[in-house]
């Protein structure tokens, strides 16, 4: 029982990332009809927003402390960050410690701007082009963004720690009545899961309960009819692209303490997330979220030592095998709509 529960928990954080990226992919495809292979790059950019914000906060200057000596006997030179100098050592240190969550405030406008520039500058010209053209152009854009990040930040992963409060692990087994220390789960992974659920709930609530969201959902179902009513659906779809960019960016940002940011992390997640979208059903938001969590948990089970001992390498291909089986039995995916990508 404890092994099963542990694998479910292990699959939640990666499943959360899959679900958030797949949600953004589905928003873009459902509204604009564009297969956006640059969406994984937005996940990567969000992660590097956290890195950039942390570096900005750590900009420092040197002061000399005459009361202390270095190993040569000279007055000790002390590096002091500007944030600690301006706000005091306690508050400044607290902000530095919470750099990743606070960087959300920095990432949101950055991701909105990037999403707007991408959609208005390039992707809008491919709305009515074949999906093959869309994939080629957006994949090329993803490579360009990846190389830009590599140029400025290097090829090596950059550790980005979680706040000290969430640095430890939670004894989940003891909390549910099992033996102590049988199911240990890192606090930040739990935070990431709860964060992803909050983002998913916010997106669904926005689409379901706001006038803007209702117009977007109507446009997803019948764009031409909505346009005939005099509604500027293109502007709303541009805003939805920016929202999808924010969702992907925040997913990457909050994932940085789990997986140190690197320039190819977006491509790693993109391929699997696109499989998630296809399995859930192209154009289905609920299907994308459901498939994300299911495949994340399934991948976790396939990574167990006992399973790998019987089927070596199964953890690398399990998602693709499940996708093949589902698409053979349900060509539209778990919750796909009739007519989507069937022309």
Q: pLDDT at position 339, please?
A: 47
- Mean pLDDT, rounded, of the chain: 85
Distance CA 55, CA 77 (A): 21
Alpha-carbon torsion (83, 87, 89, 90), positive or negative? negative
pLDDT at position 343 is 46
**Residue 103's pLDDT is what?**
95
Report the C-alpha gap between 115 and 131 in whole angstroms.
20
pLDDT beyond 60 at 342: no
Tell me the pairing of strands 75-81 and 60-69: antiparallel
CATH code of the region 2-53+101-329: 1.10.3470
Q: What is the pLDDT of residue 221?
A: 67
- The CA-atom distances, in angstroms, between 115 and each of 45, 72, 122, 230, 233 are 11, 53, 11, 25, 17
- What pLDDT, on a 0 to 100 scale, did the predictor assign at position 143? 92
3-class DSSP assignment, residue 184: strand
For the four alpha carbons of 188, 194, 195 and 200, in that order, the dihedral sign comes to positive
The stretch 43-57 carries a mean pLDDT of 94
- Of the pLDDT bands very low, low, confident and very high (cuts 50, 70, 90), residue 225 is confident
Is residue 212 scored above 70 in pLDDT? yes
Query: Confidence band (pLDDT; 50, 70, 90) for 222?
Result: low
Compute, in degrees rounded to 10, the torsion defined by CA atoms 141, 144, 150, 152. -110
**Stated pTM of the model:** 0.87
Taking the domains of the chain in order of start, what are their residue ranges? 2-53+101-329
* 243/208 Cα distance (integer angstroms): 15
Whether residue 119 has pLDDT greater than 60? yes
Q: Looking at the predicted structure, is the pLDDT value of residue 115 above 70?
A: yes
- Answer whether residue 249 shows pLDDT above 80: yes
Q: Of the given ranges (37-41, 69-73, 103-107), which has the lowest mean pLDDT? A: 69-73
**Predicted confidence (pLDDT) at residue 246 exceeds the cutoff of 90:** yes
Torsion sign, CA atoms 82, 87, 89, 94: negative
Predicted local confidence at residue 108, as pLDDT: 95
pLDDT, greater one: 57 or 172: 57
pLDDT tops 50 at residue 163: yes
pLDDT in tens, 13-30: 889 988 998 888 888 887
Position 112 confidence tier, pLDDT thresholds 50, 70, 90: very high
pLDDT tens digits for range 255-266: 999 999 999 888
pLDDT average, residue stretch 51-65 = 88
| Short-list 199, 27, 48, 24, CA closest to 110 | 48
* Residue 1, pLDDT score: 60
* pLDDT value for 273: 82
Q: For residue 341, what pLDDT band results from cuts at 50, 70 and 90?
A: very low
Torsion of CA 123, 129, 130, 134, to 10 degrees: -10
**Across the strands, what pairs with 76?**
65
Per-residue model confidence (pLDDT) at position 223: 66
Look at residue 31 and tell me whether its pLDDT is greater than 80.
no
pLDDT computed for residue 46 by the predictor: 95
What is the percentage of the chain residues whose pLDDT exceeds 70? 94
Rounded Cα gap, residues 245 and 21, in angstroms: 9
* Average pLDDT value for residue range 208-219: 80
pLDDT at 51: 95
Beta strands in the chain (DSSP E): 60-69, 75-81, 169-171, 184-186
Distance CA 49, CA 250 (A): 9
Share of the chain above pLDDT 90, in %: 29
pLDDT higher than threshold 70 for residue 245: yes
pLDDT in the model for residue 338: 58
* For residue 313, pLDDT beyond 60: yes
Q: What does the DSSP assignment read for 211-241?
A: HHHHHHHHHHH-HHHHHHTT--HHHHHHHHH
């Amino acid at each position: 029982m404890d092994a099963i529960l542990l694998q479910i928990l292990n699959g939640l954080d990666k499943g959360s990332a899959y679900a958030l990226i797949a949600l953004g992919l589905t928003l873009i495809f459902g509204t604009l009809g564009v297969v956006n292979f640059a969406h994984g790059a937005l996940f990567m950019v969000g992660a590097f927003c956290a890195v950039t914000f942390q570096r900005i906060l750590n900009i420092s200057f040197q002061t000399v402390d005459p009361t202390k000596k270095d190993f040569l006997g000279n007055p000790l030179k002390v590096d002091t960050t500007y944030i600690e100098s301006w706000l005091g050592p306690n508050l400044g240190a607290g902000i530095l410690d919470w750099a990743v969550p606070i960087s959300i405030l920095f990432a949101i406008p950055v991701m909105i701007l990037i999403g707007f520039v991408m959609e208005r500058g390039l992707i809008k010209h491919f709305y009515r082009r074949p999906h093959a053209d869309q994939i080629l152009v957006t994949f090329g854009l993803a490579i360009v963004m990846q190389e830009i990040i590599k140029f400025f930040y290097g090829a090596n992963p950059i550790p980005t720690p979680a706040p000290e409060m969430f640095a430890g692990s939670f004894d989940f087994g003891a909390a549910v009545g099992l033996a102590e220390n049988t199911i240990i789960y890192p606090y930040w992974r739990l935070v990431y899961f709860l964060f992803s659920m909050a983002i998913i709930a916010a997106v669904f609530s926005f689409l379901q309960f706001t006038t803007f969201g209702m117009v977007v959902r109507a446009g997803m179902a019948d764009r031409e009819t909505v346009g005939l009513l005099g509604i500027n659906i293109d502007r709303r779809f541009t805003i939805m692209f920016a929202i999808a960019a924010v969702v992907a960016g925040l997913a990457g940002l909050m994932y940085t303490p789990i997986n140190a940011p690197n320039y190819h992390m977006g491509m790693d997640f993109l391929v699997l997330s696109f499989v998630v979208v296809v399995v859930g059903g192209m154009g289905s938001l609920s299907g994308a979220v459901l498939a994300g969590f299911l495949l994340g948990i399934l991948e976790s089970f396939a990574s167990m030592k006992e399973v790998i001992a019987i089927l070596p390498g199964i953890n690398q291909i399990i998602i693709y095998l499940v996708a093949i089986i589902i698409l053979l039995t349900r060509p539209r995916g778990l919750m796909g709509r009739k007519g989507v990508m069937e022309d």
